[in-house]
Structure 1
Amino acid sequence: MRAIAEFVMRGRMQAILVVVGSAIVPLLFWLGAAAGGLVLLRRGLSDALGIMVWAVLPAAYICYLGEPSVLMVMLGTLALAQVLRSSASWVRVLMACVPVGVVFALVVGVAFVENLEAMAEMFRQALTELPAQSAGGPSSEQLQSMQQASLVPLLGGFMTFSLLMMSVLSLALARYWQASLYNPGGFGEEFRQIRLPVPLALALIAGVFLAPSLLGDAGWAFTLVCMLPLMLAGLALGHGLIAMKQLSSFWSIGLYVMLLVAGNLICLLAVVDSLFDFRGRLSRKSGAGPADGEG
């Protein structure tokens, strides 16, 4: 992957080739978004726009054909990259994820409504094929309740979450490339020091739990959007503690397994860390000074 970053930074034409080629090739648009993010982080918004406009053209055509995901991830990555470049703060990026996620949810609710309804219908048909009262399976009453549930907002929320996550991961890859080329090890240090301010953490966890009841079906998308910054802050906490205790890579693997099976717990740990600062306490206990963040 470093070779791609070196190729992108050789010049304008090389960067255009990568972002346009990635936008055209199916399932590689995230690579073009990361390349555009790298140019923005290193050279600024004007240079990045001069390059990304060539990738936006095929992405806009794909959007015209009914698939706006490519364009959404590219624009979302550039927006978050600009926040990171101007603020040098991943906390600001996580804050920006919320308005970007809200915009994504609105676009998903309009552009993907037919696809979401088709997916919901397929899910309902699959439920009807389940044998009633099967061992360990749902009862007929539970099946009927699941069939009558409004699945479209929930599926739209998951789609919004996946597109927002893809934008954040593309930005993370761009930042990793930048550190690899110009500041080796800087990205890891920067990520491990992410810690949400207390008001932001409390606001996000309130959004996670209260949005469905306050906003109805539309609240599912907002709930998942609020979960993303908390999950990333929880991962930063885990990686920070693993690095400070010099634990093996097995613990990092376990951290991501825990994220998959108990994402809510990761979110709660991020909130608790914002209140009690586990890494700062451990650093003081071990006699080390405060860690200096990477800009």
Structure 2
Amino acid sequence: MRKLATFIMAGRLQAVSIAVLLAILGVFVPPFTLLSGAVIALVALRKGAMPALVVIGWGTLLLSALTLGLFGQFAIGVIYAFAQWLPILGAALLLRRTVSWSVVMQAIALVGMFGVVLTQLLYPNAAQLWQGVLQTSLAGTLERIGMNANEASTAISDVAQYFTGIFAVSIALGVAISLTLGRAWQAMLYNPGGFREEFTQWRIGQPFALAMLVLVLAAVVLRNTLLVQLMLVGLVPFLLQALGLVHGLVKQSGMNIGWLIAMYALLVFATVQVAALLAAVALADCFVDIRSRLAKRP
């Protein structure tokens, strides 16, 4: 990763070429999309807004030309830039200015929640639109794993009710992860060891945590689809905070790295349950400061 980060920072052409290459690879292997966003984050964090905008501009032109040749769609490159690179640029510039992960993560969550509300206002029947999309893309897969047509249709209908929120969660997580990778690359090149300190120490402020507790309780009690979707997006920063918390506790207590491997493995195989548990731990940490309490113990 150090060599890749060094190559990206060697010049504008290198940054553009790597960002576009990773974006194209992301069409076939989605995690590469996160690395493409990390390129934009690294340039913005280190050099500021204008150099990053230049990279995004040339990258959009090149990506659009490539998608025109590969898929016959010039607009894909423009849509990608607006949906992926520009949000990451905004988050990176905010982090560059505030040097506060808490502020940035809250901003990412609030923008995502605003997007959910705006979609609900502009497209009251968004669930029906999502149902059509999911029916086309998932029905065959669900039937192949053992569901009959009625069961698959019911499952898709249930998911479609919340899919605007799920989509917003995926965007928010993508922005947050790309920004985290870009910050890690920046520290690797210019401030070795600095990223670990940042990542393991930041906490969401108590006012936002308290507001989220109220939202979670309201969503659970009322079971309103909009409140549930807002809750899902609002919990994204707490998931990231919990990951940093666990990393910090493992280092602080001298525990084996196997605990981290186990945590990420569980996130892959039991994503919803483990993510909910981690978010709950992070919410508690906002009020009781788990790190400090454990540090005081002999």
TM (norm. structure 1) is 0.79
- What secondary structure, in the 3-state scheme, does the structure 2 residue paired with 1:181 have? helix
- 1:22-61 maps to which residues of 2 (within 5 A)? 22-25=22-25, 26=27, 27=30, 28-57=32-61
Structure 2 residues not aligned, in runs of 5+: 68-72
1:108-146 superposed Cα distances (whole Å, 9 cap, x missing partner): 99799756523146667847x7479xxxxxxx9xx5994
Contact 1:195/1:274 (8 A) holds in 2? yes
Amino acid in structure 1 at the alignment position of 2:175: S
Cα RMSD (Å) of the superposition? 3.5
Alignment partner of 1:192 is 2:196: no
> How much has 1:44 moved relative to structure 2?
1.0
> How much has 1:231 moved relative to structure 2?
0.9
Structure 1 residues not aligned, in runs of 5+: 133-139, 287-295
Give me the whole-angstrom Cα distance separating, in 2, the residues matched to 1:130 and 1:35.
41
Q: 1:156 to 1:23 in 2, by over 3 A?
A: same
Match of 1:98 in 2: 109
- What secondary structure, in the 3-state scheme, does the structure 1 residue paired with 2:192 have? coil
Bigger mean CA offset, 182-191 vs 27-36:
27-36
Give me the whole-angstrom Cα distance separating, in 2, the residues matched to 1:249 and 1:47.
38
- 1:151-170 maps to which residues of 2 (within 5 A)? 151-170=159-178
> How much has 1:256 moved relative to structure 2?
2.6
1:88-116 superposed Cα distances (whole Å, 9 cap, x missing partner): 11111111112331355457997997565
Match of 1:3 in 2: 3
> How much has 1:181 moved relative to structure 2?
0.5
Percent identity, aligned pairs only, is: 32
> How much has 1:224 moved relative to structure 2?
1.6
> How much has 1:221 moved relative to structure 2?
3.0
Match of 1:12 in 2: 12
- 1:57-96 maps to which residues of 2 (within 5 A)? 57=61, 64-65=75-76, 68=79, 71-96=82-107
Q: 1:97 to 1:63 in 2, by over 3 A?
A: farther
Amino acid in structure 1 at the alignment position of 2:167: M
- 1:261-280 maps to which residues of 2 (within 5 A)? 261-280=273-292
1:169-208 superposed Cα distances (whole Å, 9 cap, x missing partner): 1111101100110111111111000222221112123334
Give me the whole-angstrom Cα distance separating, in 2, the residues matched to 1:12 and 1:169.
23
- What secondary structure, in the 3-state scheme, does the structure 1 residue paired with 2:107 have? helix
Contact 1:192/1:239 (8 A) holds in 2? yes
> How much has 1:55 moved relative to structure 2?
2.0
Give me the whole-angstrom Cα distance separating, in 1, the residues matched to 2:113 and 2:62.
25
Amino acid in structure 2 at the alignment position of 1:201: A
> How much has 1:63 moved relative to structure 2?
8.0
**Number of residue equivalences:** 277
